């Protein structure tokens, strides 16, 4: 039954009880009233009449004629009234006899027999009514007793019903609501196993069914979400585990979330000793982690002895963010050992080759000098021209071997500078000539803008030119065909700024501050343009060794501009 129906029924019950009590009360009050009225009218009046007649009867036989007459009239009047108020069995016969006696007595007032008979009749009437009065009084008493009994009975039922209502009803409404509130709190605390057990078929029962349905759906949803999250986590863990680069993932409180096998190997720790631990705590006993957390080595080369060999890494740190805050970071160590070894091999190779070439070239020069000497023998004009060509080529060869040696020097860390006061134009011209042929092949326009009036700079001409050539060969490499490259040298304050601007793809902002790092190459650029990522790093070394500054500016899609400034 529904709560509404139950409430309606309860109220109807109360209404009927009240109605019954009211009706019963009214009924009994009415009945009592009627009884007492009957007593008054039927019997009390008859007794009064009999009493009056008794009093008047004494005066009827009085000597005073007027008084006797008045008494006779009054007696007659009361007798008439009594005749009209016959209520009891036998009363009529008595009153009729009284009337007969009275009429006879009026004719013969001296008859004592009649007088006695009248008195006894009056007494009988009075007695008869008195008895009736008592009987009716008993009936009224019984009515009153019945009224008390029935009304008390109804009252008791009513009190019991109300009492049970008072005791049960608040709980009946409030208990389910309290249980519901508690269950909702449990759901809010993600305890989706919570259920309500209202057995009643009323609105609370329906509420429990709806609530349990909701909790079940939430439970399902939570479980499927959890499964999805676990699946994603597993996938990410697998990816990280399979990354060859050592990778460490920390949360926002620097707690270690993931550590792949490579990072465990170079840290010399087991995964179980890292996961879930606070990174700064682990770092107290682990030098490498301390270095990584310090972040002062980001972008610099790290030499780590691991797996019984020396390896070289570059540290990268990526912040993990959502819209509002930092959620953690990923530390990746890029293994550059292979490049390092290649580089070393290349440096050795360059050093050896350039050294080995120097001797035969020197001897070729010597031979040319001899050939050119008229004392050795005469040569014709054509042969002279050939000798001159060989001479200038040899000169170039010597220069190149010299440069190669320089490169090897910077890479071993000992740059030898050969300062001379140099005209900026000379440097520009030298570089221009060096790349002219390369540019022509791609049909690039080289736009040189360099005044003759620029102040001299104190510099190692060859190394500076090498830097400019490096800028230019990069610009040529990353420029589309038939585009333009601008070469500029101009004075600003106490510096001469050399710059090379191209109109190629440009470099993304986030990579711009890294391109002067060793081995750094912008990811995703044309794969076939396989440089080593060393050119700009060597350029930086060369320029900074001469107290100069070097920088790059670029806008993606609009080209790049590389520049260095040397003090005047
Ligand atoms: P590489 O030998 O690879 O050219 P560099 O040190 O000279 O080495 O250059 C480093 C990286 O900078 C290059 O790999 C390239 O991605 C980027 N870079 C250099 N110059 C340019 C340029 N003019 N335009 C676009 N990217 C450039």
Query: Between the CA of residue 183 and those of 191, 210, 219, what are the distances in Å?
Result: 9, 13, 14
Q: Which of 474, 500, 519, 555 to mutate to test the pocket of ligand 1 (most atoms within 8 A of CB)?
A: 474
Which pLDDT belongs to residue 323? Answer: 81
Question: Residue 469 and residue 290: Cα distance in Å, rounded?
Answer: 41
Q: Is the pLDDT of residue 49 over 90?
A: yes
Residue length of the chain: 568
Residue range 163-190, pLDDT digits in tens:
988 898 888 888 889 999 999 999 999 8
How far is it, in rounded angstroms, from Cα 133 to Cα 50?
14
The finding on whether 474 has its CB within 6 A of some atom of ligand 1 is: yes
Using pLDDT thresholds of 50, 70 and 90, give the confidence band for residue 403: low
Cα separation, 97 vs 90, in Å, equals: 11
Q: Which atom of ligand 1 is nearest to the CA of 533?
A: 8
Cα 94 to averaged position of ligand 1 atoms, centre (Å): 152
Give yes or no for residue 485 CB within 6 A of ligand 1. Answer: no
State the pLDDT at residue 517: 85
Q: What is the pLDDT of residue 397?
A: 83
What are the backbone angles phi and psi of residue 426, rounded to the nearest 5°?
A: -60, -45
Q: Which residues contact 333 (CB under 8 A, 6 or more apart)?
A: 245, 246, 247, 263, 266, 292, 302, 304, 313, 314, 315, 316
Distance CA 339, CA 326 (A): 34
Asked if residue 564 has pLDDT above 90, the reply is: yes
In the predicted model, what is the mean pLDDT of residues 226-254? 89
Q: Stretch 95-109: mean pLDDT, rounded?
A: 90
> pLDDT tens digit string along 149-163?
988 888 898 888 889
| Highest mean pLDDT (candidates 132-141, 208-217, 384-393) | 208-217
User: Does the pLDDT of residue 337 top 90, yes or no?
Assistant: no
Q: Please give the distance, rounded to the nearest whole angstrom, from the Cα atom of residue 552 to the centre of ligand 1.
A: 11
At residue 455, the pLDDT reads: 94
H or E stretch covering 219: helix 203-242
pLDDT surpassing 90 at residue 561: yes
Residue 559 has pLDDT above 90, yes or no: yes
For the chain, what percent of residues have pLDDT higher than 70?
97
Q: How high is the pLDDT of residue 170?
A: 86
**Predicted structure pTM score:** 0.41
**Are the C-beta atoms of residues 500 and 562 closer than 8 Å to each other?**
yes
Give the DSSP letter of residue 442.
T
Q: In this model, does residue 528 exceed pLDDT 60?
A: no
pLDDT score of 526 more than 60 = no
The pLDDT confidence band at residue 485, using thresholds 50, 70 and 90, is: very high
Q: What is the model's pLDDT at position 126?
A: 92
Give the tokens for residue 134: 């008592």
Residue closest via CA to ligand 1's atom 20 equals 474
User: From the CB of 532, is ligand 1 less than 6 Å away?
Assistant: yes
Quick check: 413 pLDDT over 90? no
- Determine the distance from the C-alpha atom of residue 424 to the mean position of all C-alpha atoms in its chain, rounded to a whole number: 63
pLDDT of 48 above 70:
yes
Distances (CA, A) of 76 to 44, 79, 97: 19, 5, 14
Atom 7 of ligand 1, residue of closest alpha carbon: 535
Phi and psi angles of residue 300, each rounded to the nearest 5 degrees, phi first = -100, 160
Task: Look over the chain and give the mean of its residue pLDDT values, rounded to a whole number.
Answer: 87
Lowest mean pLDDT among 13-27, 35-49, 313-327, 520-534: 520-534
pLDDT > 90: percent of the chain? 35
Report d(CA 58, CA 77) in Å as an integer.
16
What is the C-alpha separation between 306 and 277, in angstroms, rounded? 22
Q: CA-CA distance, 230 to 191, in Å (whole number)? A: 19
- 516: Cβ contacts below 8 Å, ≥ 6 apart: 536, 537, 539, 540, 550, 552
Query: Helix 461-477 crosses helix 381-412 at what angle (to 10 degrees)?
Result: 90
Nearest CA to ligand 1 atom 4: 531
Across 60-76, b (16+ Cβ under 10 Å) vs e yields beeeeeeebeebbebbb
Phi, psi angles (nearest 5°) of residue 420: -145, 150
What's the CA gap between 114 and 502, in Å, rounded? 166
Q: How confident is the model at residue 531 (pLDDT cuts 50, 70, 90)?
A: low
Tell me which residue has its CA closest to atom 13 in ligand 1.
Answer: 521
Q: Which atom in ligand 1 lies closest to the alpha carbon of residue 470? A: 7
Bridge-partner residues for 497, per DSSP? Answer: 490, 565
**Atom from ligand 1 closest to the CA of residue 502:** 23
Ligand 1 centroid to residue 265 C-alpha, Å = 33
Q: Which of 92-106, 133-147, 554-568 has the lowest mean pLDDT?
A: 133-147
265 pLDDT tier (thresholds 50, 70, 90):
confident
Longest Cα–Cα distance of the chain, Å, equals 223
Confidence of residue 565 (pLDDT cuts 50, 70, 90): very high
Q: Which atom of ligand 1 is nearest to the CA of 504?
A: 24
- Higher-confidence position of 200 and 254: 254
pLDDT at 554: 94
Reduced to 3 states, what is the DSSP secondary structure of residue 67?
A: helix
Q: With 0-12 CB in 10 A as exposed, 13-18 as middle and 19+ as buried, what is 491?
A: middle
Q: What is the mean pLDDT of residues 112-139?
A: 91
Is residue 414 scored above 70 in pLDDT? no
For 242, other C-beta atoms within 10 Å of its C-beta total: 10
pLDDT of residue 155: 87
């Amino acid at each position: 039954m529904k709560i509404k129906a139950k409430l309606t029924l309860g109220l109807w019950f109360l209404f009927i009880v009240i109605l019954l009590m009211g009706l019963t009360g009214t009924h009994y009050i009415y009945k009592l009233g009627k009884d007492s009225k009957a007593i008054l009218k039927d019997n009390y009046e008859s007794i009064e009449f009999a009493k009056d007649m008794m009093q008047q009867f004494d005066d009827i036989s009085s000597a005073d004629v007027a008084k006797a007459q008045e008494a006779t009239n009054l007696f007659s009047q009361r007798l008439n009234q009594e005749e009209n108020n016959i209520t009891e069995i036998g009363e009529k016969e008595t009153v009729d006899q009284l009337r007969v006696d009275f009429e006879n007595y009026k004719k013969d007032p001296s008859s004592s027999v009649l007088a006695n008979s009248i008195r006894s009749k009056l007494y009988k009437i009075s007695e008869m009514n008195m008895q009736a009065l008592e009987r009716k009084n008993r009936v009224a008493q019984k009515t009153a007793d019945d009224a008390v009994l029935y009304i008390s009975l109804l009252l008791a039922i009513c009190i019991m019903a109300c009492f049970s209502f008072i005791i049960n009803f608040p709980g009946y409404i409030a208990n389910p609501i309290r249980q519901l509130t508690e269950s909702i709190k449990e759901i809010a605390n993600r305890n989706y196993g919570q259920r309500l057990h209202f057995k009643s078929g009323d609105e609370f029962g329906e509420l429990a069914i709806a609530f349990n349905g909701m909790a079940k759906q939430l439970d399902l949803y939570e479980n499927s979400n959890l499964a999805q999250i676990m699946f994603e986590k597993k996938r990410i863990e697998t990816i990280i585990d399979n990354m060859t680069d050592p990778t460490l993932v920390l949360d926002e409180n620097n707690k270690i979330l993931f550590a792949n096998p490579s990072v465990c190997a170079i840290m010399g720790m087991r995964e179980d000793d890292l996961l879930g631990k606070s990174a700064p705590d682990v770092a107290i006993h682990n030098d490498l982690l301390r270095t990584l957390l310090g972040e002062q080595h980001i972008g610099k080369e790290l030499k780590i002895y691991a797996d019984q060999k020396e390896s070289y890494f570059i540290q990268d740190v990526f912040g993990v963010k959502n819209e509002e805050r930092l959620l953690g970071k990923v530390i990746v160590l890029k293994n550059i050992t292979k490049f390092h070894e290649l580089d070393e091999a290349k440096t050795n190779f360059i050093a050896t080759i350039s050294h080995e070439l120097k001797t035969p070239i020197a001897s070729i020069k010597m031979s040319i000098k001899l050939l050119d000497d008229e004392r050795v023998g005469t040569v014709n004009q054509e042969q002279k021209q050939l000798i001159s060509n060989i001479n200038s080529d040899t000169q170039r060869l010597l220069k190149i071997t010299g440069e190669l040696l320089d490169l090897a020097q910077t890479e071993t860390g000992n740059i030898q500078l050969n300062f001379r006061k140099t005209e900026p134009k000379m440097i520009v011209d030298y570089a221009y000539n060096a790349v002219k042929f390369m540019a022509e092949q791609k049909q690039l326009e080289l736009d040189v803008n360099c005044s003759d009036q620029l102040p001299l700079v104190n510099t190692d001409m060859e190394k500076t030119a090498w830097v400019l050539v490096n800028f230019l060969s990069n610009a040529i490499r990353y420029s589309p065909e038939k585009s333009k490259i601008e070469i500029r040298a101009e004075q600003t304050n106490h510096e001469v700024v050399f710059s090379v601007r191209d109109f190629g793809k440009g470099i993304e902002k986030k990579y711009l501050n890294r391109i002067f790092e060793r081995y750094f190459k912008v990811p995703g650029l044309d794969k076939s343009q396989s440089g080593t990522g060393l050119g700009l790093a060597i350029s930086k070394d060369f320029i900074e060794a001469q107290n100069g500054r070097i920088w790059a500016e670029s806008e993606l899609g609009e080209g790049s501009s590389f520049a260095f400034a040397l003090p005047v």
